[in-house]
Amino acid sequence: MELLHTRADLARLASLRSGGRLVLVPTMGALHAGHLSLVERAAARGPVVVSIFVNPTQFAPGEDFARYPRDLERDLELLRPLGPAAVFAPQVSEMYPGPDGTAVEPGPRAAVLCGARRPGHFRGVATVVVKLLNLVGPAVAVFGRKDAQQCLVLDEVVRDLALPVRLVDAPTLREPDGLAMSSRNRYLEGDDRRRAACLSRALQAARRELEAGERAVAALEDLLALHLADADVVEYAEVRRVPDLDRPERAEGRLLLAIAARVGPARLIDNLVLEVGPREVRAAALLEGGQP
Ligand code: AMP
């Protein structure tokens, strides 16, 4: 496992890149089993590069950039047994050589849900991911469905900028009580940790209601809200169409049930992607190459 820090170090990937099978897994580190599952899935497709970079431009002023957990040594220990070809862990100056440099402005999918509440967030995500794709040169990049809107925004960026890479989304790993694994779960203690499970419970309740035949989006969103009483602040709990993220009135076709809520000191997100037919409801992927 090569440890790469600079743009110049990435030249060491040249022979792997020319094989045309390189797979990139971008992360912000503080790795957990969810990240590791992405690396395992990536490894089934080709040699893997994991990037570890806490990207400052996707944090708004007042968000948790400064206190975001960082532990490169532990991350490397967790990755080593999975055998990735390389870990790319650059400094901020390596990714952002000039102040206020060029940025990528994502399209309409970035305007709703988290995009409406975290100004500039997806601009920062799109900018850093385009840089990582250009620097590493993978054939495939794997992203977690946990960050569903991020997958759809980046899918649009790749399409619109004609980037030569295929994006794949992978399922969300959860704790035994349903809480989606996240580096930010470290902020949760005691009662906050217990209450955090309400996000996944709300999603499962909405799924059961869909399976029972409910198709009115307003009723499903009311149900989500009802199950989120344990959260301190619900930022949104909505049903959206995949891939455009428009708001349907009826629940049909491929849908994203998406929640963002604050519990104690943590801002948590969770979601469920479902294919809703006239009689059948099943788990689905967001992107063409994804596995449900
Ligand atoms: P992050 O380090 O939070 O930026 O996440 C890096 C990648 O891991 C993103 O593609 C996330 O969507 C993905 N990810 C985060 N949490 C999970 C999880 N619980 N299960 C699967 N993938 C995840």
103: CA distance to ligand 1 center in Å?
A: 23
28: CA distance to ligand 1 center in Å?
A: 9
**Hey, which bits of 208-265 come out as E strands?**
233-241, 253-263
Report yes or no on whether pTM surpasses 0.75.
yes
Give the burial class of 102: count Cβ atoms within 10 A of its Cβ; 0-12 exposed, 13-18 middle, 19 or more buried.
exposed
> Please, what are the domains in the chain?
2-170 (3.40.50.620), 183-283 (3.30.1300.10)
Q: What sign does the dihedral 236-237-239-241 (CA atoms) show?
A: positive
Reply yes or no on whether the pLDDT at 99 is more than 90.
no
Q: Which residues contact 61 (CB under 8 A, 6 or more apart)?
A: none
Q: Closest ligand 1 atom to the C-alpha of 150?
A: 12
CB 20 within 8 A of CB 81: no
Q: Which residues contact 50 (CB under 8 A, 6 or more apart)?
A: 24, 25, 27, 39, 79, 84, 86, 87, 88
Catalytic site includes residue 121 = no
Nearest-CA residue for ligand 1 atom 6 is: 27
Percent of the chain at pLDDT > 90 equals: 95
Reply yes or no on whether the pLDDT at 38 is more than 90.
yes
Reply yes or no on whether the pLDDT at 292 is more than 80.
no
Distance of CA 255 to the CA centre of its chain: 17
Q: Which residues contact 287 (CB under 8 A, 6 or more apart)?
A: 151, 152, 155, 167, 168, 169, 243
Q: Closest ligand 1 atom to the C-alpha of 171?
A: 21
User: What average pLDDT does this structure show over 224-250?
Assistant: 98
Q: Which residues are near ligand 1 (CB < 6 Å)?
A: 27-28, 34-35, 37-38, 143-144, 146-147, 172-173, 180-183
SS3 240: strand
CB 228 within 8 A of CB 221: no
Q: What is the pLDDT of residue 181?
A: 98
214: CA distance to ligand 1 center in Å?
A: 31
Question: Per-residue pLDDT tens for 78-92?
Answer: 999 999 999 999 999
Q: Report the residue among 27, 35, 129, 256 best suited for mutation to probe ligand 1: largest number of ligand atoms under 8 A from its CB.
A: 35
- Name the band, by pLDDT with cuts 50, 70 and 90, for residue 153: very high
Nearest-CA residue for ligand 1 atom 7 is: 27
Q: Report the residue among 25, 27, 142 best suited for mutation to probe ligand 1: largest number of ligand atoms under 8 A from its CB.
A: 27
135: CA distance to ligand 1 center in Å?
A: 21
User: What average pLDDT does this structure show over 34-56?
Assistant: 98
Between residues 281 and 291, the one the model is more confident about: 281
Q: Closest ligand 1 atom to the C-alpha of 174?
A: 19
Reply yes or no on whether the pLDDT at 288 is more than 90.
no
Q: How many Cα neighbours within 13 Å face the side chain of 28?
A: 19
Q: Report the residue among 38, 50, 181 best suited for mutation to probe ligand 1: largest number of ligand atoms under 8 A from its CB.
A: 38
Q: Closest ligand 1 atom to the C-alpha of 30?
A: 2
Give the relative orientation of helices 121-136 and 148-160 as an angle to the nearest 10 degrees. 60
